[in-house]
Amino acid sequence: MSVAHGQSTGQHRALLYEDPGAFVGGVGAFLRGGLREGDHVVAVVTPEKLGWLRDELGDDASAIELLEAGSFYDRHGLMFSGMFDLLERHAAPGRGRVRIVAEQALANREPADVRAYMRYEAASNVLYGQYDVSVLCPYDAAGLPDGIIDSALRTHPTIAEDGGDARDSASFTDPGEFVRQHVLRRPPPSVSAAGRLERAGDVATARRWVAAHASAAGLSAESAEDLVLAVSEVATNALIHGEAPRLLWSYLEDGHLVCQIRDGGPGPVDPLAGYLPPDQSLLGGRGLWIAHQVCDVVEVASDTSHTDVYVRMRLPVI
């Protein structure tokens, strides 16, 4: 299914709550409303909050698909792909309606993971517009940093607060513009570039170099293979669509192995490239999507002089 850009017709609402009672009250009412209307109802929250909802909903909890947030949100690209599959099954035209509650423990995630999640919150407005779906995203207004709450206001068209009616978000930002702005651009590391990408054969060299670096950093064989695939896709994109000079770095940063690919071009025309499912009728356009699926975080930062793509893989905790 091709996902077109444009105004979302789906409902994507943030719930700003300040205590457990407000969470349970707002989320419980939303879920019960879905059951009354015959929706397929899903809740993805932390184990503690799953317990709260089971207590609140009683027998109604058995009719709801309850998912633990930790594994669901481990890799945001796979999370979004899973959301797409769920909507295809239950909310495509003629297949019914879905009501979803989705919250992860953002306070426990690394800054790069939080940035990635908020970019997906923005992109999801485009995805939801293709389906009959209503999504409620709770945010702990008392416990989360102001920056995360600000991002929630910018990525959700509608906001609900404790004890109040829903309102339009005055801060809502065009999804593509939010994704373009919500990246952390870093200068290349002080170490020399691993190599230049000037011809097709250089991609194979880059693959071997990244594989060796991943092994030395202690990544599992599976994670190393995923990282090599992502770098191969991004490097190929740089050769086909980018401009010289094309450079590759690989370095350790904040518990991640980072591969940074730079080219002298302006980057993708569409800032949501890689976030939304690719058009299956086209042969190309899958490189960044693949990178998002197999890596923990992918960031694209562009300006008029060059484009940097950062692919990150978490290092094992020893």
CATH of the domain at 233: 3.30.565.10
Do 153 and 171 meet the contact criterion of CB atoms below 8 Å apart? yes
- Please tell me the predicted confidence (pLDDT) of residue 165: 76
Q: Comparing C-alpha atoms, which of 204, 1, 207 is closest to residue 92?
A: 1
**253 and 147, same domain (yes or no):** no
- At residue 311, the 3 state secondary structure works out as strand
286 and 215 share one domain:
yes
The answer on 208 and 154 residing in a single domain is no
Q: Are residue 104 and residue 204 in the same domain, yes or no?
A: no
**Same domain? 139 vs 65:** yes
Q: What's the rounded Cα separation, in Å, for the pair 276 and 80?
A: 8
pLDDT at residue 163, as a whole number: 63
Helix 287-294 and helix 76-90: axis angle, to 10°?
A: 110
Report yes or no on 189 lying in a domain.
no
Tell me the HSE value of 86 on the side-chain side, using a 13 A CA sphere: 24
Same domain? For 143 and 241 the reply is no
Q: What distances in angstroms separate CA 92 from CA 86, 215, 228, one per listed residue?
A: 9, 43, 35
Are residue 134 and residue 238 in the same domain, yes or no?
no
Mean pLDDT of 20-28: 95
Interval 150-166 mean pLDDT: 88
Phi, psi of 302 (to 5 degrees): -130, 150
Q: Is residue 46 part of a domain?
A: yes
**236 shares its domain with 284:** yes
Tokens read off for 15: 């719930």
Query: What is the percent of the chain where pLDDT is above 70?
Result: 93
As for how many domains the chain has, the answer is 2
- At residue 4, the pLDDT reads 46
- The DSSP line for 190-234 is SSPPSEE--SHHHHHHHHHHHHHHHHHHT--HHHHHHHHHHHHHH
pLDDT at 296: 96
Query: What's the pLDDT at 187?
Result: 79
Q: What's the chain's average pLDDT?
A: 91
The domain of 75 spans: 11-166+174-181
The CATH number assigned to the domain holding 129 equals: 3.40.50.300
**Residue of 32, 54, 124, 113 whose CA lies nearest to 82:** 124
Tell me the pLDDT tens digit for each residue of 211-235.
Answer: 999 999 999 999 999 999 999 999 9
Judged against a pLDDT cut of 60, whether residue 6 lies above it is answered with no
On whether residue 155 sits in a domain, the answer given is: yes
Helix, strand, coil percentages for the chain (3-state, nearest 5)? 45, 20, 35
Tell me the C-alpha distance between 234 and 261, whole Å.
7
